[in-house]
Structure 1
Amino acid sequence: MTAPAPTAPTRRSGRWIERWDPEDEGFWTATGQRIANRNLWFSVLSEHIGFSVWTLWSVLVLFMGPKYGLTPADKFLLTSMVTLVGAVVRVPYTFAVAVFGGRNWTIISASLLLIPTIAAFAVMKPGTSFTTFLVVGLLAGIGGGNFASSMTNINAFFPLKKKGWALGLNAGGGNIGVPVIQLVALAVIGASGGPRVLLGIYIPLIVVAAILAACFMDNLATVKNDTGAAKDAAKDAHTWIMSFLYVGTFGSFIGYSFAFGQVLTIQFGRTPLQAAYLTFIGPLLGSLIRPLGGRLADRFGGARITLWNYVAMAAATGVLIAASLQKSLPLFVSVFVVLFVLSGLGNGSTYKMIPGIFQAKALAKGLEGEAAVAYGRRLSGASMGLIGAVGALGGVGINLAFRQSFLSYGTGTGAFVAFLAFYAVCFAVTWAVYLRRPARQAVTVAASETKAQLS
């Protein structure tokens, strides 16, 4: 007797899917994989545009020469505040998926990107006050929120064994918005165009992303109205431990993305065009490698990949300090690109750890089967937004550290020393919490199983 074929997910008006069980192999093969992949690609597009708008001011400051009247410290403060808003809005964006539905919120969040882009188009000219630039720059921070809602939404679509790759692809496709806007800016600067040309390119792209989300994405009823999941995730210590580790990986990626061009112009005397030729390479490679970080974590364990990635990040930072002291631009740029790649790899591996942690907690609680899967999926999806929000604060710290380092020493060397110390702490936390073997044999079986799952 053959098993009945999996039933297709039922829908109600507004592209809602009532039944969704990706852990059911039959369901996943028959209908789930196709629907999940379709939602993934259009989520990537919206998140990609969001990242571009968020990091818009890292590019615009390169256009802002002496006639704009801004000091290097003003520019670092501006980009720091944009990063801060992008981090803070990730918290409500995480709740928004449960309140509105993943598709519906993607449409809304994509449409909201028109506000900072049009506002920047209106004020981007010499004679505008720094306060005005700061206020308009703060609006661009909403682009950073798209990551949190997108990751929370896509996490619910895929089975546990596919999450590392899917989440890495989703986040990497979004992260690549950083180098893309830098490449577009390079083309605009190279063609002697102004910043308004760059902004004019992105306004129609935002409209297209919102329309495509409306036409091709879906809402999952199983995620709707579960705002309590974020509260439960916030009470779990692992949410905050992983937030700290994500500060080291994603905080580095976004912080360096905002600061790299300014460091090249201030410390090494590069022109905006010369800086633009170099700044896109690191974010591009860091974005492309993020899915590989997730794939490696799927195979070898997220904690192991994250641990050794921090070793490599610390080593690269040590070389950066030497390059900065020697004023060697080729070495500095080469190692900075390596650091971008490592931050992207670590982004993928740390995010893969999150579903495994909460799945292991479910097993340790005695849950089995679908109950364990539902518990893990519910809390991991909610925690991702919170972890993404705290992680993005690392970008604020990096820009403020550079600002203070240049004010105090005239170079970024002091900031790199601080980053090296922080990566050492991240290594210690990863090892102590997720990889250290219990010292006593009196550890419970449940705890041992949890350790195995986490590593």
Structure 2
Amino acid sequence: MATAYWKGANTKTGGGFWSSGHTPTLIAAFLYFDLAFMVWVLLGPLAPAISKALALTPAEKGFMVATPTLAGALLRVVNGLLVDRIGPKRSGAISQLIVIGGLLSAYLLGVDSFGGTIALGVILGFAGASFAIALPLASRWYPPDHQGKAMGVAGMGNSGTVLASLFAPGLAKLFGWNTVLGLACIPLAIVFVIYMAMAKDAPGRPAPKSLSEYLHPLKSADAWWLMGFYSVTFGGFVGLAASLPIYFTDRFGLTPITAGYCTAACVFAGSLVRPIGGALADSIGGIKMLIGVFIVAALALAAVSIAPTVGSALAFFVVAMLALGVGNGSVFQLVPQRFGAEIGVMTGLVGMAGGIGGFYLASSLGLAKQWTGSFAPGFLIFAALALVALVSVFVVKSQWRRSWGAAEGVRI
């Protein structure tokens, strides 16, 4: 069962959300997450310019934009362990310095090969791994009845992907894509200062555990189910965020800037509804929300595969991203209820699964384009995975509600 990991931080339940936790830390967590996600997907909006300069194949383009996603997925487990060992604030500071240093080095030294883009993608993975830091940083301050909203507000940092899509293509056209890497260090440095000033670890942090104790949640089937659900919801979100600039330029011949605007519209939709998804899950239960999420996402992604125009594709992508964004918030309404005592490592493990899902989607779209000449098979396979997730929800829902849902007294 989940334990009240928030005791000692704030034990007020049933009150207003903003008075139940630590608002400066919540804001700091959001800003850190937002800017980290901005640079995590930076190679996506820059992909048309990079692929033209380096003469990349469709498969290489897909792998390039997918590499930060995979690196971020694996590093989330490391960060989850680090959070529970030294605390989320210090873990976040270390991660931010690595990303800033990596981007600055890439700008000064230049990236002139496919291998160089992969190396940069690994560094950007540290930004994607911020997920396993920012969410526990905020979550530990809030009681169970406000977990969905707290995780949703902090997790709305997904919107950083909008900033990358909006500004990176235009800046690349004006100054060159390599210069964009250096320019990104400016807002990152500003947020780092704000983060150090405002963020505060919640009191009552659990005592350090052994590695085997940290990974104990993996012995529970519930952990694997939650990881599977998030591999579809967040995997779909971040995989699309990284791949849509390539899709719109290759499929419809849009300019990189116009493709960036289309991508930004889709990503904004998914980011905006994440806290809404968390709040709705607090009210009616994360399980009910996920059932609707997987149905809508599967239908929208299948429709994308046959969309004949930019307008229709854009509309279906927005619907898909809305569903996936709600799903992200819904999954993380469930995680703290079941694994409150292991929230740091579970955030990392679930986040890792989401990153792996994103890596699969982004890379498979590139392979589908190279092997078949169309992106459609990649979208159809991921739609099928959403249906598999839907069936899985029905498999576990009754047992969850009878056991840990009922014991915690929180609607799931």
TM-score (norm 1): 0.83
Deviation at residue 452 of structure 1 after TM alignment: 8.0
User: Is 1:288 aligned with 2:272?
Assistant: yes
Counterpart position of 1:394: 357
Contact 1:115 1:139 in 2 (8 A): no
Q: Aligned partner of 2:181: which letter?
A: L
Q: Aligned partner of 2:351: which letter?
A: G
Counterpart position of 2:180: 198
User: Is 1:43 aligned with 2:29?
Assistant: yes
Counterpart position of 1:62: 48
User: Is 1:176 aligned with 2:159?
Assistant: yes
Contact 1:251 1:394 in 2 (8 A): yes
Q: Aligned partner of 1:449: which letter?
A: A
User: Is 1:83 aligned with 2:46?
Assistant: no
Partner Cα distance (2:394, 2:12) in 1: 34
Q: Percent identity?
A: 24
Name which one, 1 or 2, has greater alpha-carbon Rg: 1
Partner Cα distance (1:198, 1:292) in 2: 32
User: Is 1:316 aligned with 2:297?
Assistant: no
Of structures 1 and 2, the one with the larger relative CO (CA 8 A, separation 6+) is 2
DSSP-derived class of the 1:89 partner: helix
Partner Cα distance (2:51, 2:299) in 1: 35
Q: Aligned partner of 2:70: which letter?
A: L
Partner Cα distance (2:407, 2:164) in 1: 42
Contact 1:251 1:391 in 2 (8 A): yes
Partner Cα distance (1:251, 1:448) in 2: 26
Contact 1:102 1:220 in 2 (8 A): no
Partner Cα distance (2:400, 2:100) in 1: 51
* Structural mapping, 1:224-303, within 5 Å: 225-228=207-210, 230-303=214-287
Deviations 1:239-277 (CA, angstroms, capped at 9, x unpaired): 111000001100000000111111111222222122122
Partner Cα distance (1:264, 1:144) in 2: 24
Partner Cα distance (1:69, 1:99) in 2: 44
Counterpart position of 1:220: 202
Question: Once structures 1 and 2 are overlaid, which stretch shifts more, 201-210 or 237-246?
Answer: 201-210
Counterpart position of 1:345: 326
User: Is 1:423 aligned with 2:386?
Assistant: yes
Contact 2:72 2:125 in 1 (8 A): yes
Deviations 1:263-321 (CA, angstroms, capped at 9, x unpaired): 11122222212212211111111111100000100100000001111111111122212
Counterpart position of 1:20: 8
Gaps of 5+ in 1: 1-17, 359-375, 439-444
Contact 1:120 1:137 in 2 (8 A): no
Deviation at residue 453 of structure 1 after TM alignment: 5.1
Counterpart position of 1:12: none
Counterpart position of 1:370: none
Give the 3 Å change call, closer, same or farther, for CA 96–437 of structure 1 in structure 2: closer
Gaps of 5+ in 2: 1-5
Give the 3 Å change call, closer, same or farther, for CA 321–269 of structure 1 in structure 2: same
DSSP-derived class of the 1:176 partner: helix
Partner Cα distance (1:38, 1:452) in 2: 29
Deviation at residue 65 of structure 1 after TM alignment: 5.0
Question: Once structures 1 and 2 are overlaid, which stretch shifts more, 33-42 or 285-294?
Answer: 33-42
Q: Aligned partner of 1:23: which letter?
A: T
Contact 2:9 2:140 in 1 (8 A): no
Contact 2:170 2:257 in 1 (8 A): no
DSSP-derived class of the 2:215 partner: helix
Contact 1:110 1:210 in 2 (8 A): yes
Question: Once structures 1 and 2 are overlaid, which stretch shifts more, 149-158 or 418-427?
Answer: 149-158
Counterpart position of 1:129: 113
- 2:145 pairs, out of 131, 143, 161, with 161
User: Is 1:92 aligned with 2:78?
Assistant: yes
Q: Aligned partner of 1:412: which letter?
A: F
Partner Cα distance (1:416, 1:201) in 2: 34
Contact 1:46 1:210 in 2 (8 A): yes
Give the 3 Å change call, closer, same or farther, for CA 306–451 of structure 1 in structure 2: farther
- 1:434 pairs, out of 397, 407, 410, with 397
Partner Cα distance (2:102, 2:108) in 1: 10
Contact 2:87 2:201 in 1 (8 A): yes
Q: Aligned partner of 1:141: which letter?
A: G
Deviation at residue 89 of structure 1 after TM alignment: 0.2
Give the 3 Å change call, closer, same or farther, for CA 227–177 of structure 1 in structure 2: farther
Q: Give the superposed CA RMSD.
A: 2.6
Deviation at residue 394 of structure 1 after TM alignment: 0.4
Q: Aligned partner of 2:184: which letter?
A: Y
Counterpart position of 2:94: 108
Partner Cα distance (1:102, 1:286) in 2: 26
Partner Cα distance (2:282, 2:319) in 1: 23
Counterpart position of 1:209: 191
Contact 1:168 1:292 in 2 (8 A): yes
Partner Cα distance (1:453, 1:421) in 2: 31
DSSP-derived class of the 1:157 partner: coil
Question: What is the aligned length?
Answer: 405
User: Is 1:449 aligned with 2:412?
Assistant: no
Q: Aligned partner of 2:316: which letter?
A: V
Question: Once structures 1 and 2 are overlaid, which stretch shifts more, 309-318 or 266-275?
Answer: 266-275
DSSP-derived class of the 2:175 partner: coil
Q: Aligned partner of 1:341: which letter?
A: L
